[in-house]
Structure 1
């Protein structure tokens, strides 16, 4: 009696790779990844829009002066004591020309005075 030959447990991976590659080519041809924009379309430009800061934000001017709702504020700690939010979040709207070290110092003062989170509101635009 002859012993039956056992087959090795190898799977034919080349066939699987070919099938996956053909599916990839099919879907690339059949579907568009991103339809192109209409050439006659002109996108909105936001570079010249005058923005208004949020009403509950502390505005920091280029010289480091603080303002809240158009009124000058003496210090960040005094402002926080009078206008503490329930969640502890403080919004800062710095001027573009404000030195970074001054902004960091104001944020540090707010955190030391008890602000839970200091959020810096910035302008983001596509050019």
Structure 2
């Protein structure tokens, strides 16, 4: 059986680390017997197709998860940009008053 190391679990979804029974059967064949006509010892087209389908489902699931995360991050980025622009806009309107203030707290009249 395939076991993931703790540092691998931090980067991978543990569900995807457990191969399906067909893949496990293929991986556990340490020294496969010589080819024979016995149908029980052969890897059939259906078995390979099942492995491929499992991998496709896994990839589609991961892609969907990544796309959702990308959307969340883009929304968060856009919100931060909006907050930044709003802050700059508010700060820009108040700079006219701030330019005339002195460090002592007195306001000087503009001569221009």
Please state which band the TM-score falls in when normalised by the shorter chain: under 0.3
Higher helix share: 2
TM-score, scaled to structure 1? 0.25
TM-score, scaled to structure 2? 0.27
Higher strand share: 1
Whose RCO is larger (CA < 8 A, sep 6+)? Answer: 1
